[in-house]
Amino acid sequence: MITSLVDIAGDFPILKRQVNGHRLTYLDSAATSQKPSIVIDRVREYYETSNANVLRSVHTLAEESTVAMEEAREKIARFIHANSSREVIFTRGTTESLNTVARAWGDKFLEAGDEIVLSPMEHHSNLIPWQQLAKRTKASLRYIDLNRDGTVSVDAVKQQITGRTRIVTLSAVSNVLGTINPIAAVAKLAHEVGAIMVVDGAQSVPHQPTDVQNWGIDFLAFSGHKMLGPTGIGILWGKEALLEAADPVIFGGEMIAYVDREDATWAELPAKFEGGTPHIAGAIGLGAAVDYLNSIGMSRVEEHSRELAEEAYRRLANISGVTVYGPPYPRTSVVAFNLSGIHPHDVSQVFDARGIAIRAGHHCAQPLMHWLDVGSTARASFYLYNSAQDIETLVDAIEATKRYFKR
């Protein structure tokens, strides 16, 4: 029975909305989460009281703005157990963070013949940057064989790691299968051959406690908008020594120490990787989101996301004509499925008419769709404001969709 977190939906103004004459049932949080009032209010308060550019001017508003942004950075550093906030770089999101690692570290340290190990379940954001890096450096990609249920075994990773492996990268949680990957064990394998471990945390950081030290990883990328924060803000965390060794990729204001006509030197971390005016309000809003998540407790959030995903899997797998992808458990937050003979876009449209938001498509994971042998799937994804009632609504909608297309 799902009992946790039932009163939280009231903190999210959008969930009071009616869509097409029905109470909104929002099951698309893996695409982006909704925002609690505390985040919306904090962003508004920032613009109404302290708006100014950071790090540049010496006046009260600029100082308030800088302090607020740096406080947010500190909160995020504690949230993921970074050694210091110098290791926390503001980016636009997971995509930009992963591209930054590929450019900043990969371009500098990879050579022809080196290898990058990754899985076929990766989101395109954790795939194309490595494809492009491999093309630029004449390195090659080696793909981990997935188990039949879509999970990753440490043995399968071991088979792809060689003396030439320089980067191992994996999502901590799959955005399609909801599987939870063995990050700490894989990081250990990577380090045994001197490779770095890069983690796509887009679907894990919102749903479970994150400890980059316990994982023993080198880089972590995640997005603020999937964890109750604003869009356009994300994080690249990296070990300080690796960030120091890597080269900046965005050149311009804020990221320099000294500039003359011919050359320039770089600012200290994290500014070295934050060229240009950052998304100040976004960073501050993300700090408020972290406060909100901490006030609930990430262990409770984790339990809730798992309970909902596992219960939804059980319910959907029992409906005739429904295929659910990935293992029944352990899983978290997302459940991808198909209805026999009905295109996921049609499913999504019937759902929308009932006020239910899901995602339909390839989920930016086309190699995984090929592996599953489907063109696309429907996907329901859950977060802390969802309840057992939403699963009932989902099940009813599936039955209604089947009836509708049978007519």
Ligand X SMILES: Cc1ncc(COP(=O)(O)O)c(C=O)c1O
Chain residues in the site for ligand X (CB under 6 A): 30, 93-95, 123, 125-126, 171, 175, 200, 202-203, 223
Question: Which helix (H) or strand (E) element contains residue 324?
Answer: strand 322-324
Cβ neighbors of 338 (< 8 A, separation 6 or more) are 322, 323, 325, 344, 374, 377, 378
Half-sphere exposure of 269 (CA within 13 A, CB side): 19
Smallest gap from Cβ 202 to ligand X, in A, equals 3
The end-to-end CA distance of the chain, in Å, is: 35
Q: Which is closer to ligand X, CB of 36 or CB of 224? A: 224
Q: Which token pair is 11?
A: 């903190």
Cβ neighbors of 262 (< 8 A, separation 6 or more) are none
Q: Which is closer to ligand X, CB of 243 or CB of 364? A: 364
Q: Which is closer to ligand X, CB of 177 or CB of 246? A: 177
Q: Which is closer to ligand X, CB of 196 or CB of 336? A: 336
Task: Note if 364 is an active site residue.
Answer: yes
Cβ neighbors of 300 (< 8 A, separation 6 or more) are 4, 5
Burial of residue 395 (CB within 10 Å: 0-12, 13-18, 19+) is middle
Smallest gap from Cβ 350 to ligand X, in A, equals 23
Strands (E), 64-158: 88-91, 115-118, 140-143
Phi-psi label, residue 402: left if phi above 0, alpha if psi -120 to 50, beta otherwise: alpha
Smallest gap from Cβ 14 to ligand X, in A, equals 19
Q: Which is closer to ligand X, CB of 66 or CB of 348? A: 348
Cβ neighbors of 133 (< 8 A, separation 6 or more) are 102, 103, 106, 107, 110, 116, 139
Q: Which is closer to ligand X, CB of 30 or CB of 339? A: 30
- Nearest in space to 184 (alpha carbons), one of 227, 154, 223: 154
Phi, psi dihedrals of residue 222, rounded to the nearest 5°: -155, 170
Smallest gap from Cβ 222 to ligand X, in A, equals 8
From the candidates 364, 365, 368, 369, give the one annotated as an active-site residue: 364
Cα separation of 252 and 260, whole Å? 13
Smallest gap from Cβ 123 to ligand X, in A, equals 3
Smallest gap from Cβ 32 to ligand X, in A, equals 8
The residues assigned a catalytic role are 364
